[in-house]
Structure 1
């Protein structure tokens, strides 16, 4: 029998696990750019708890363990920003990142999002590949430091997404994979 991973809304009780997982997941990113002072590695528990109360934060659980998370916020004019997607290294390359992305998109669509925007570092080929696979295209890039350029990617919500957003948001949060 296989493992079951569920995706649901994060609660304040998840904050510490999310922060620890975020610290683990962003070590590779920091190494890639030679910068261990990036925001995900310096974020405090209080700052993360504030994010939990301000937007949509989802977690992927394997039993009681948080093995993935993603954040999203609906903005003005139908724009939504997706950020902070993390998947435990042992769970990567098994489709969990795509499931988290689909779940947060569905949740944001139910809140009226008509397009989604996210950003990643220019050297993070895994993220760039995943986002392209899910229909995101590069719309901008910004050199943040000598070593880091942020690539901003965006996609429009598809019509079939709009028609099923209400049902999909609930279904995505209750989804289970075996």
Structure 2
């Protein structure tokens, strides 16, 4: 491709439209897994996404001017970083970009927001996500039946090692 993928420390409302389009593309496979095309990432409006970017932290991966990946997070009053919507363009998958985005958001949250632990969730059928998260030290902390077809698996890991390694 000739151009390297660069992860930017901050995404903002200028990136919102590209992130929303990428999110819609990326979550098609998730919707297909559960035969549910009404999942929130597919129904989120641009206004809602822009507001979400303003409330939390988002990183983007760019290939030139194109957003090819993104991840969002918030940190609550207890120091738990809630990581969500880790997305990678289908043509960029299986090259380590998802892992790079996850590491980048963890590093950012631990360094700038003093996150004490990282928490995320995925659907029970998404073996790719589960494999990635477990390989990065996340362990299952709960399972919740969201719909008759979907069980959400919440995974977590402590951030204490990040302060010294980041």
Place the TM-score, normalised by the shorter chain, in its bin: over 0.9
State how 1:40-51 maps to structure 2 within 5 Å.
Answer: 40-51=41-52
Which residue of the other structure, out of 106, 127, 130, is the alignment partner of 2:129?
A: 127
> SS state of the match for residue 10, structure 1?
coil
Question: Structure 1 residues 31-40 or 106-115, which shifts more?
Answer: 106-115
Partner of 2:148: 146
Q: How far apart, CA to CA, are the structure 1 residues paired with 2:2 and 2:128?
A: 25
Unaligned segments of structure 1, at least 5 residues:
166-178
Unaligned segments of structure 2, at least 5 residues:
none
In the alignment, is residue 37 of structure 1 matched against residue 38 of structure 2?
yes
Q: How far apart, CA to CA, are the structure 1 residues paired with 2:124 and 2:95?
A: 23
Q: How far apart, CA to CA, are the structure 2 residues paired with 1:164 and 1:124?
A: 29
Q: How far apart, CA to CA, are the structure 2 residues paired with 1:125 and 1:68?
A: 19
CA RMSD of aligned residues (A): 1.1
Task: List, as ranges, runs of 4+ consecutive aligned residues in structure 1 with deviation greater than 2 Å.
Answer: none
Deviations along 1:152-173, one digit per CA (max 9) or x if unpaired, are 00000143x11354xxxxxxxx
State how 1:60-139 maps to structure 2 within 5 Å.
Answer: 60-110=61-111, 111-139=113-141
Q: TM-score, normalised by structure 2?
A: 0.96
State how 1:50-65 maps to structure 2 within 5 Å.
Answer: 50-65=51-66
Count of matched residue positions in the alignment of Structure 1 and Structure 2: 164
Q: Which has the higher contact order (CA 8 A, sep 6+)?
A: 1
For residue 12 of structure 1, report the CA deviation from its aligned partner: 1.2
> SS state of the match for residue 147, structure 2?
coil
Question: Structure 1 residues 1-10 or 22-31, which shifts more?
Answer: 1-10
Deviations along 1:105-161, one digit per CA (max 9) or x if unpaired, are 0111020101000000000000000000100000000001110000000000143x1
Q: How far apart, CA to CA, are the structure 2 residues paired with 1:113 and 1:76?
A: 10
For residue 78 of structure 1, report the CA deviation from its aligned partner: 1.5
Q: TM-score, normalised by structure 1?
A: 0.89
Q: How far apart, CA to CA, are the structure 2 residues paired with 1:164 and 1:134?
A: 14
Deviations along 1:59-95, one digit per CA (max 9) or x if unpaired, are 0000000000000111122111000100000000100
For residue 2 of structure 1, report the CA deviation from its aligned partner: 4.3
